[in-house]
């Protein structure tokens, strides 16, 4: 018997760890893995996800222009039953929203109706003990509290690790990580990180071994030399997964028999964790791949590429890796050895796809690690020329599977470090700080944006302190300094205006109108349809609200806070592509974008992490072996070569790579969804009487109605994909979080 891990689990026959297999009656009761592909019927679906009626759902959102905690304490404390803080007396008389009595009603409602973990937070709000309501501050006070960290250089001239961010979190925005994440999940993560030792720190009397034993439910500690193959990992995954707290209720891609196939690989470019970067191939990429086909002797592909409509060719272009991490030699091997662990390799793969007229996306070729030219890089072409080609050889096509793994490694880093963390979490934080430094809390722009900042500042601080230096840098094939550089590169090359949804679709070569996306060619790209529909809906809402305060372009151009905001975001927040704002439409676009980043965009790239990443072999964060240096080497690859490149026998790495996506994929609580936000806005203005207030109520009512209509539309968009596609419901407004809160 050989020891598998430093934690003492012994391996069994053929190097398998001695982990409990479920008893037959449990195994028999496990759902058919293919249920994850099944759409519920329309009725089933809407009965599960349709929000409760507005009367039962909303948690009022708060208007900072009205609130002041000191006053709340005085006014509201006496209404509570001192013996039972869960009882909140409802005020009597005619309640007018916008008054303290109206506020009181809203808070009482919140406390009474919130049956989630926020229940006590709401009560604390009422008591003023642990306020999550923004305290009404003057702009001067805001500026004192919201200070930027140094960027781009530290005082000593060295590059600052992160984009501009908040120096100190104000107390009313300060959430402990235990108030953000599932508590047990967080403790498990800390055990893996060895931040706590449970037997010493008294985690309910459990030992470290106990927790690690639980965690092995997601880890496969095997030794490839002893004959472990990928099917063993697949079998293990069927019965050892963490509990279902995400949208897919614990399912993951490894449950599908064809998880490694061309079809699933292609589908992920449109509906996976990163559906945001697939882009029409430029003439130079098309020429480069033709050249590679010639070099590799792929005659059929040389001729197919010459005949292909260039508009049907798309790339996932990770070729910028070395530039982004500050390595000037384009041929340098990118490799990093975390302290106390084995080496990891990073690659900058470029994948070429063809989008067929019937909507099927097909992978054509993969340059496994771009080294400055196609001649110097290894590029392999798919044996299957079209999606309809027989798929029975796919499982054993090890060279091609290795290439797809390289593409997944490239996208793991790009998705997590660039798209998710930087272009969502960090860009939004820079906006939050800039807004607080320039726009008073009573201003229309502040009021419309601030509900979308819930928990973000504390969460991002956790990402800077722990996630990147202690988790990501141990998983990827680049050093911590290179991670910083990669993040800064994503930030510095970000174009705010070009990332507006219609502009983004257009620059990536997709139609940017709902009608254009109706073409059957785009039937498998529901992300594009849904994100555009949400953009249009949010924009309509933002415009109707902002028009109340800014009826003319001149009023926008003359507004000092808005002009200060623009300057601050461009300079102190280092987003020079933030637009000049002189017209109402420019203002509406910029504000819509700030909401888009915090809500739909982040939800799309956050909440599918467990499904696509917890089965680590499907999308590993790095390679555990150097990538092949020649096409001949790659063509000779067999299963053991792929196994050796995967973190199958690296328990800590596997644990972290599976655990963290699970921790970050918890479904949003119903009262923090975008849909509920709309309902609560509508509710808050229920008692408002002035024409302007009624107009806000009407805008919120429309937003709620529009979002409900989108729920249906998104269901049909998902159902319209090819048979057997993984349902795409992550942007359902009932599942979309109002802010970056995880």
Ligand X SMILES: CCCCC/C=C\[C@@H](/C=C\CCCCCCCC(=O)O)OO
Nearest approach in angstroms of CB 732 to Fe ion is 18
Among 195, 226, 238, 249, binds ligand X (CB under 6 A): 195
Rg of the chain taking only CA atoms, in angstroms: 26
Nearest approach in angstroms of CB 466 to ligand X is 4
Among 104, 142, 606, 711, binds Fe ion (CB under 5 A): 606
Which of ligand X, Fe ion, none does residue 459 bind to, with CB < 5 to 8 Å depending on kind? Answer: ligand X
Nearer to ligand X, 216 or 425 (CB): 425
Nearest approach in angstroms of CB 311 to ligand X is 34
Nearest approach in angstroms of CB 597 to ligand X is 13
Q: Is 462 in the site for ligand X (CB under 6 A)?
A: yes
Nearer to ligand X, 264 or 420 (CB): 420
Q: How many CA atoms lie within 13 A of 251 on its CB side?
A: 18
420 with 606: CB under 8 angstroms?
Answer: yes
Nearest approach in angstroms of CB 613 to ligand X is 7
Per-residue binding string, ligand X, 621-660, x by CB under 6 A, is: ---------------------------------------x
Nearest approach in angstroms of CB 531 to Fe ion is 16
- Residue 88 phi, psi (nearest 5): -120, 120
Nearer to ligand X, 266 or 674 (CB): 674
Nearest approach in angstroms of CB 662 to ligand X is 10
Nearest approach in angstroms of CB 347 to Fe ion is 24
Q: Which of 663, 668, 669 is nearest to 115 (CA)?
A: 669
Q: Which residue has the tokens 């006053």?
A: 71
Nearest approach in angstroms of CB 265 to Fe ion is 24
Bridge partners of 45, per DSSP, are: none
The edge-to-edge listing of strands for the beta sheet with 379-381 is 279-280, 313-317, 350-355, 361-367, 379-381
Q: Binding segment for ligand X among 251-259, 391-399, 415-423, 641-649 (CB under 6 A)?
A: 415-423
736 with 600: CB under 8 angstroms?
Answer: yes
Which of ligand X, Fe ion, none does residue 195 bind to, with CB < 5 to 8 Å depending on kind? Answer: ligand X
Cα angle: 519, vertex 391, 415; to 5 degrees: 60
Q: Which residue has the tokens 């739909």?
A: 600
Among 135, 360, 404, 425, binds ligand X (CB under 6 A): 425
- Residue 43 phi, psi (nearest 5): -65, -45
Among 61, 69, 114, 189, binds ligand X (CB under 6 A): 189
Q: Is 290 in the site for ligand X (CB under 6 A)?
A: no
Per-residue binding string, ligand X, 661-680, x by CB under 6 A, is: x--x----------------
Q: Is 606 in the site for ligand X (CB under 6 A)?
A: yes
Q: Binding segment for ligand X among 153-161, 218-226, 432-440, 464-472 (CB under 6 A)?
A: 464-472
Which of Fe ion, ligand X, none does residue 114 bind to, with CB < 5 to 8 Å depending on kind? Answer: none
Nearer to Fe ion, 463 or 642 (CB): 463
Give the whole-angstrom CA distance, residue 654 versus residue 663.
Answer: 14
Nearest approach in angstroms of CB 195 to ligand X is 6
Which of ligand X, Fe ion, none does residue 466 bind to, with CB < 5 to 8 Å depending on kind? Answer: ligand X
Cα angle: 479, vertex 480, 481; to 5 degrees: 90
Q: Is 472 in the site for ligand X (CB under 6 A)?
A: yes
Tokens representing residue 115 in the block: 């049956």
Bridge partners of 353, per DSSP, are: 314, 363
Tokens representing residue 109 in the block: 């409602």
Q: Binding segment for ligand X among 150-158, 184-192, 348-356, 536-544 (CB under 6 A)?
A: 184-192
> Which residues, 6 or more positions from 22, have their beta carbon under 8 angstroms from its beta carbon?
30, 239
Q: Measured between alpha carbons, how far is residue 380 from residues 284, 329, 346, 347, 384 in Å?
A: 18, 23, 18, 15, 12
Give the whole-angstrom CA distance, residue 594 versus residue 427.
Answer: 9
Q: What are the DSSP calls for 31-69, one per residue? A: PPGGGGGPPPPHHHHHHHHSPPPTTTSPPPP--TTT--H
Residue ranges in contact with Fe ion by CB under 5 A: 606
Residue ranges in contact with ligand X by CB under 6 A: 177, 186, 189-190, 195, 416, 420-421, 425, 459, 462-463, 466-467, 472, 606, 660-661, 664, 742
């Amino acid at each position: 018997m050989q020891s598998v891990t430093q934690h003492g689990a012994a391996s069994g026959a053929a190097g398998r760890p001695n982990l409990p297999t479920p008893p037959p009656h449990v195994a028999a009761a496990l759902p058919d893995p293919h249920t994850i592909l099944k759409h519920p019927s329309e009725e089933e679906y809407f009965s599960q996800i349709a929000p409760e009626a507005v009367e039962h759902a909303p948690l009022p959102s708060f208007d900072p222009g009205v609130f002041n905690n000191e006053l709340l304490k005085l006014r509201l404390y006496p209404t509570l039953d001192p013996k039972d803080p869960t009882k909140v007396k409802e005020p009597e008389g005619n309640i007018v929203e916008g008054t303290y009595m109206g506020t009181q009603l809203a808070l009482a409602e919140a406390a009474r109706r919130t049956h989630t973990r926020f229940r006590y937070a709401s009560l604390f709000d009422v008591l003023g003990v642990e306020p999550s309501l923004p305290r009404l501050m003057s702009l001067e006070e805001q500026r004192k509290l919201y200070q930027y960290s140094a960027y781009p250089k530290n005082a000593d001239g060295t590059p600052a690790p992160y984009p501009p961010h908040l120096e100190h979190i104000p107390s009313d925005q300060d959430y402990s990580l235990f108030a953000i994440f599932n508590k047990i999940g967080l403790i498990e993560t800390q055990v893996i990180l060895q931040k706590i030792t449970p037997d010493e720190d008294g985690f309910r009397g459990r030992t470290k071994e106990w927790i690690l034993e639980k965690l092995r439910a997601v880890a496969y500690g095997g030794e490839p030399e002893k004959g472990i193959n990928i099917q063993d990992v697949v079998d293990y995954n069927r019965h050892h997964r963490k509990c279902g707290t995400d949208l897919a209720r614990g399912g993951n891609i490894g449950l599908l028999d064809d998880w490694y196939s061309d079809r699933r690989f292609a589908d992920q470019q449109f509906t996976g964790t990163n559906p945001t970067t697939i882009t029409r191939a430029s003439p130079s990429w098309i020429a480069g791949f033709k050249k590679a086909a010639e070099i590799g002797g792929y005659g059929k592909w040389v001729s197919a590429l010459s005949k292909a409509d260039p508009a049907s060719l798309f790339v996932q272009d990770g070729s910028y890796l070395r530039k982004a991490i500050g390595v000037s030699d384009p041929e340098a091997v990118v490799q990093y050895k975390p302290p106390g662990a084995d080496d990891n390799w990073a690659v900058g793969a470029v994948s070429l796809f063809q989008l067929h007229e019937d909507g099927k996306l097909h992978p054509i070729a993969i340059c496994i690690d771009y080294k400055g030219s196609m001649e110097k890089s290894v590029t392999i072409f798919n044996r299957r020329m079209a999606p309809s080609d027989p798929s029975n050889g796919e499982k054993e096509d090890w060279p091609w599977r290795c290439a797809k793994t390289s593409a997944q490694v490239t996208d793991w880093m790009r998705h997590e470090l660039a798209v998710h963390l930087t272009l969502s979490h960090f860009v939004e934080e820079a906006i939050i700080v800039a807004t607080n430094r320039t726009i008073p809390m009573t201003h229309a722009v502040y009021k419309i944006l601030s509900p979308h900042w819930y928990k973000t500042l504390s969460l991002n601080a956790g990402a800077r302190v722990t996630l990147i230096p202690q988790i990501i840098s141990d998983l990827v094939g680049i050093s911590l300094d290179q991670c910083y550089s990669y993040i800064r590169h994503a930030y510095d090359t970000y174009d705010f205006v070009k990332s507006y949804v219609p502009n983004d679709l257009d620059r990536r070569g997709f139609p940017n109108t709902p009608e254009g996306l109706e073409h059957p060619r785009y039937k498998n790209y529901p992300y594009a349809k849904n994100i555009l529909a949400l953009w249009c809906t949010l924009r309509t809402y933002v415009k109707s609200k902002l028009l109340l305060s800014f009826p003319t372009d001149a009023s926008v151009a003359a507004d000092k806070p808005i002009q200060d905001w623009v300057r601050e975001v461009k300079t102190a927040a280092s987003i020079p592509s933030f637009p000049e704002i002189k017209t109402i439409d420019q203002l509406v676009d910029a504000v819509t974008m700030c909401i888009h980043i915090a809500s739909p965009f982040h939800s799309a790239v956050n909440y599918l992490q467990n499904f696509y990443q917890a089965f680590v072999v499907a999308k590993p964060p790095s390679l555990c072996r150097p990538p092949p240096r020649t096409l001949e080497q790659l063509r000779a690859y067999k299963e053991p070569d792929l196994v050796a490149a995967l973190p199958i026998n690296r328990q800590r790495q596997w644990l972290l790579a599976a655990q963290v996506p699970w921790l970050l994929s918890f479904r949003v609580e119903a009262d923090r969804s975008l849909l509920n936000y709309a309902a609560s806005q509508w509710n808050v203005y229920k008692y408002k009487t002035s024409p302007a207030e009624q107009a806000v109520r009407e805008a919120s009512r429309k937003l709620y109605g529009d979002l409900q209509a989108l729920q249906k539309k998104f269901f049909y968009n998902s159902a319209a994909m090819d048979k057997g596609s993984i349902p795409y419901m992550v942007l359902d407004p009932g599942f979309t979080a109002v802010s970056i809160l995880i």
